[in-house]
């Protein structure tokens, strides 16, 4: 399997500026490779949002879903952790903790709990929609990534499209959606922190697969005893098919495959560029709902789709990569 051959991001060439915009060094082929990993990851996230919303509003609690996710992923990736180790010495304790928290059980709990209070469409807009903004800010501050004028325009267009998607739902405080919105934004900050930490860690030889293994096993070891002893669970009353579906999708597709794919995109494109693809989640979810659910977007939704799509094209480095006259050596 190609998953086992992930390589770390090469360190900058001697004499290169650490603050040079990453998008200016990307060839078209390298951009397309990173973009493919990013789009693959967010395609799985679309299903995660819909499936988690269905689970927490029917037979399972956020605590149950988090337990199923990391019990499966932790067991599956334990051999990788045994082989490669925890990697604390490679990346340092602070970066290691940010990776574990930002993509681990705390992130899943925050995001899943938000889905109890607000619709999946709001989660699809606010978590992946605002995450690139947080990632860009964190990358500018901690990694000294410079954001070009074109990318700034793209980052500005993304929240415009998000507001069009969610619309008046953001201001209907009587519905209680605001509680979910705050949790979604907090989850976005968690994932943005993971994104920036993973970019820094990859330069130390901390691979995408090792990151997935560490996050999954550490989350399982820490969370599962707390869940079993102290947290309420509804898993005993849930239908078997619901448990199996959630376990497979949450534990394999989301925790292993999408996390690996996203980390690969970040290692190729950089933190803020790789994060930009997450903003396509509400667009993909809306388009997927046409054939799957028969939900036809409103005319205003197409404006949101256009704003987010153009914003991602500009902020992800696509414009710079495709406008280059010759590929980078």
DSSP-based three-state secondary structure for 247 = helix
Question: What is the model's pLDDT at position 173?
Answer: 66
19: DSSP letter: T
Helices H / strands E in the chain, number of each:
15, 0
Q: Which two tokens stand for residue 178?
A: 């605001």
- 326 near 170, Cβ under 8 Å? no
- 309 near 126, Cβ under 8 Å? no
| In 210-308, beta strands by DSSP E | none
Question: What is the model's pLDDT at position 74?
Answer: 95
The Cα–Cα gap between 104 and 255 comes to 9
The CA distances from residue 14 to 8, 11, 204, in Å, are: 17, 9, 16
- 245 near 2, Cβ under 8 Å? no
Owner of token pair 């799957």: 292
The Cα–Cα gap between 288 and 158 comes to 20
Question: What is the model's pLDDT at position 73?
Answer: 95
Q: What is the pTM of this model?
A: 0.74
Neighbours of 115 (CB within 10 A): 25
The Cα–Cα gap between 155 and 134 comes to 10
Question: What is the model's pLDDT at position 321?
Answer: 65
DSSP-based three-state secondary structure for 62 = helix
Digit-by-digit pLDDT tens for the chain (329 residues) are 333 333 333 434 333 334 445 555 667 788 888 888 988 998 898 888 778 878 888 889 889 999 999 999 999 999 999 999 999 999 999 999 999 999 999 998 898 888 888 877 777 778 877 888 888 888 888 878 777 778 788 888 888 877 776 765 666 666 677 888 889 889 999 989 998 898 888 888 898 889 999 999 999 999 999 999 998 888 988 999 999 999 999 999 998 899 888 888 888 887 777 777 777 777 777 777 677 656 676 777 778 778 877 877 777 666 666 665 544 43
- 121 near 166, Cβ under 8 Å? yes
- Nearest in space to 120 (alpha carbons), one of 41, 48, 40, 187: 48
DSSP one-letter string for 277-308? GGGGHHHHHHHHHHHHH--PPPHHHHHHHHHH
**What residues have CB less than 8 Å from 157, skipping those under 6 apart?**
307, 308, 310, 311, 314, 315
Domain boundaries, the chain: 25-323
Neighbours of 55 (CB within 10 A): 24
The Cα–Cα gap between 223 and 105 comes to 7
- 191 near 107, Cβ under 8 Å? yes
The Cα–Cα gap between 214 and 85 comes to 8
- 149-166 and 120-142 are packed helices; what angle lies between their axes, rounded to 10 degrees? 160
**What residues have CB less than 8 Å from 233, skipping those under 6 apart?**
61, 63, 64, 67, 227
């Amino acid at each position: 399997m190609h998953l086992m051959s992930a390589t770390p991001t090469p360190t900058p060439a001697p004499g290169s500026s650490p603050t040079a915009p990453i998008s200016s060094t990307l060839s078209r082929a390298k951009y397309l490779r990173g973009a493919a990993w990013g789009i693959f990851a967010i395609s799985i996230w679309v299903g995660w949002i819909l499936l988690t919303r269905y689970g927490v509003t029917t037979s399972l609690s956020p605590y149950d879903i988090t337990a199923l996710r990391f019990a499966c992923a932790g067991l599956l990736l334990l051999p990788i952790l045994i082989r490669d180790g925890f990697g604390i010495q490679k990346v340092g304790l602070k970066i290691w903790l940010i990776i574990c928290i930002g993509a681990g059980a705390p992130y899943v709990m925050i995001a899943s709990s938000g889905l109890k209070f607000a619709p999946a469409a709001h989660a699809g807009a606010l978590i992946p929609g605002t995450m690139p903004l947080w990632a860009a800010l964190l990358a500018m501050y901690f990694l000294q990534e410079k954001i070009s004028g074109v990318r700034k325009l793209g980052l500005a267009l993304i929240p415009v499209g998000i507001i069009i998607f969610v619309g008046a739902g953001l201001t209907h405080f009587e519905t209680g959606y605001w509680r979910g919105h705050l949790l979604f934004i907090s989850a976005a900050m968690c994932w943005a922190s993971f994104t920036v930490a993973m970019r820094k860690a990859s330069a130390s030889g901390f691979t995408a697969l090792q990151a997935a293994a560490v996050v999954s096993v550490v989350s399982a070891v820490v969370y599962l005893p707390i869940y079993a002893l102290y947290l309420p669970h509804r898993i005993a009353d849930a239908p078997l098919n619901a448990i199996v579906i959630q376990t497979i999708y949450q534990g394999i597709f989301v925790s292993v495959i999408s996390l690996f794919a996203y980390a690969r995109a970040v290692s190729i494109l950089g933190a803020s560029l790789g994060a930009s693809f997450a903003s396509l989640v509400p667009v993909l979810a809306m388009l997927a709902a046409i054939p799957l659910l028969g939900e036809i977007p409103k005319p205003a939704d197409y404006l949101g789709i256009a704003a987010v799509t153009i914003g991602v094209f500009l902020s992800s480095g696509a414009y710079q990569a495709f406008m280059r006259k010759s590929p980078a050596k």
